[in-house]
Structure 1
Amino acid sequence: MEFIYDRRLGISLPYLDQPWETLSVKNQTEILTQWELIRGTIPEKIADIEMSIEDKQMELNQEEEFERSCALNDEVAEYASVINDLWIWYRTSPSVSKQFSSSSF
């Protein structure tokens, strides 16, 4: 098990090389501890991105060139997509499982 940095989201994401339920309780606990530290940074990242969206929207309100307006809209859409993905990861709350139980990650 390792965490791999996702440049688009700006956080490290879990990568399991074996099923969650086959990991020892100790390993699951260590992974969950690390995940909770990462997960705790997500709301602040979302707030920062929301500020960037507001900046882009203010810029868009002043923009008169159509092509630039389209580019700004694309940037806002990408920011919104990142926020959506971050919320999905934030809501992921795995738990320690016993052998042969359902996968958490």
Structure 2
Amino acid sequence: MKENFTFDDRLGILIPDLKDLSDFSLKVQEEILLKWEQVRGSIPDRIRDLEIQINQKQALLSNESNFPRSCQLNSEIAELASIINDLWLWYRANEVLSTKVHH
């Protein structure tokens, strides 16, 4: 099962590494989908943790008078927001995976 998922350091979750689900037996397809559902269920918690980090950085930014440091904080906030966006895309990818398993 592990060979069907790869840990993404940037996103902090396992990502399905599937070329074609039809290459697997129905039992393995269901196991993959179950594993994905577990990973998918963790995505909102991961997003919440990233939002906390964004809020902390925004609080620092509101009191920062050093321009280069302000730019750095803005960059870090933008990267965290980008990760959140990608996580939401993966969260919504469930419909695609489910459809592939059931066809």
Match of 1:54 in 2: 55
- 1:17-64, Cα deviation, whole Å (9 max, x unpaired): x41223221111000000000100000110110010000000000000
Q: Which runs of 5+ in 1 are unaligned?
A: 99-105
Whether 2:99 is the aligned partner of 1:97: answer no
**RMSD, aligned CA:** 1.1
Letter in 2 for 1:23: F
Kindly indicate which of the two structures has a greater share of residues assigned to helix: 2
In 1, the alpha carbon distance for the partners of 2:7 and 2:77 equals 23
Whether 2:26 is the aligned partner of 1:25: answer yes
Give the TM-score normalised by structure 2. Answer: 0.89
In 2, the alpha carbon distance for the partners of 1:31 and 1:81 equals 27
In 1, the alpha carbon distance for the partners of 2:52 and 2:4 equals 31
Match of 2:73 in 1: 72
Of 8, 13, 16, 2:15 maps to 13
Residue identity over aligned pairs, in percent, reads: 51
Give every structure 1 segment of 4 or more consecutive aligned residues whose post-TM-superposition deviation is greater than 2 Å.
none
Count of matched residue pairs: 97
Q: Which runs of 5+ in 2 are unaligned?
A: none
